[in-house]
Structure 1
């Protein structure tokens, strides 16, 4: 099957209407470009050279049609703004699978995790999900209070919303504007393959 045809089939497989984006999260999405620009300014001004190199790598490449998402991915969380200009965490294990409700992605190692779905909308592929810690998640995205961003217990469960972009067969990213906790803009860098032994055993709090 030609790549273009396979990509088109995959796009059609994305859910036409997964979990509706809550109005307060639509506002976060609308501010994505402005927040990314302002936090990048601080990251490039004050980040370490090694962290900046990883940030540049995460943002390289133009988004294309998603393809071959199923399976294991390495996921690295980058946080910008608020507490510190730039923090880069090690790779952890993530997994993508095609479910009855569409494509689902989840972070399966580390003390802070997330789970969510991908939905094709005008302007891109929207990720909606929840981030949580030990004991969570308290609910999925659809079960969150419709008019509150307060963490839900157990697991300090909070809403995540962003844009998923695949920039190659083995590389993708999720751009997350205005996270509820800790930062002003997050990037989840995704690289095809299993996480290293170090990442699986790491005690880093992410």
Structure 2
């Protein structure tokens, strides 16, 4: 039975939180799910399962279009198999930088790197919430334990001047799923395979702000 998560955007902190959890029959669930498998939609299960092929294909497409040097400069950030043991990421503010790799359709760019923004990670009812606090595209969601190398991210995409995130599972075009991995000392990345817009994969670098 999949549990839907209403995600609200807190004022000031702009971080994800679960207001309540309901099962598919609309009944309130007393305890929040810590198992991402109880939460993920069928579409997102596929995206998570096929993350590596999406990553490899996106890098290949970017290199084929002449972006090899920019890929190489990013080092471990854009290497599919760079994950290190111990993915747990501390709560706090992070400098986050998004790179979109591999064009989703003809006429789009195969490599786009955005400047740093601020992201925040904080406790959220037994798991962690992750939110990008500024920019025109802002992932907001929750982090779940997965395995020795990864945390699972499930959330939604906020756009423009929106002040409240959509409920995860309510709009497939806004749902986001991916993995948080540690790729160095005090360095993590959020991999978002096959997002609905623009790219084949989004990779967000996370470095502590302090």
Cα 1:182/1:119, change in 2 over 3 Å: same
Cα 1:93/1:52, change in 2 over 3 Å: same
In the other structure, the counterpart of 1:9 is none
In the other structure, the counterpart of 1:130 is 156
Native 8 Å contact 1:117 1:127 kept in 2: yes
For the pair 1:185 / 2:210, whether they are aligned, the reply is no
How far residue 54 of structure 1 moved from its aligned partner, in angstroms, is: 4.6
Native 8 Å contact 2:186 2:207 kept in 1: yes
Give me the whole-angstrom Cα distance separating, in 1, the residues matched to 2:113 and 2:58. Answer: 14
For the pair 1:95 / 2:120, whether they are aligned, the reply is yes
Native 8 Å contact 2:59 2:71 kept in 1: no
Native 8 Å contact 2:157 2:165 kept in 1: no
Give me the whole-angstrom Cα distance separating, in 2, the residues matched to 1:54 and 1:186. Answer: 17
> Could you state the TM-score of these two structures normalised by the residue count of structure 1?
0.72
> Could you state the TM-score of these two structures normalised by the residue count of structure 2?
0.71
The DSSP-based 3-state class of the residue aligned with 2:178 is strand
Native 8 Å contact 1:70 1:96 kept in 2: yes
For the pair 1:84 / 2:104, whether they are aligned, the reply is no
The DSSP-based 3-state class of the residue aligned with 2:85 is coil
Q: How many pairs are equivalent? A: 169
Larger helix percent: 1
For the pair 1:141 / 2:168, whether they are aligned, the reply is yes
Give me the whole-angstrom Cα distance separating, in 2, the residues matched to 1:122 and 1:68. Answer: 13
Which residues of structure 1 form unaligned runs of 5+?
A: 1-14, 151-157, 195-206
What CA RMSD, in Å, does the superposition of the two structures yield over aligned residues?
2.4
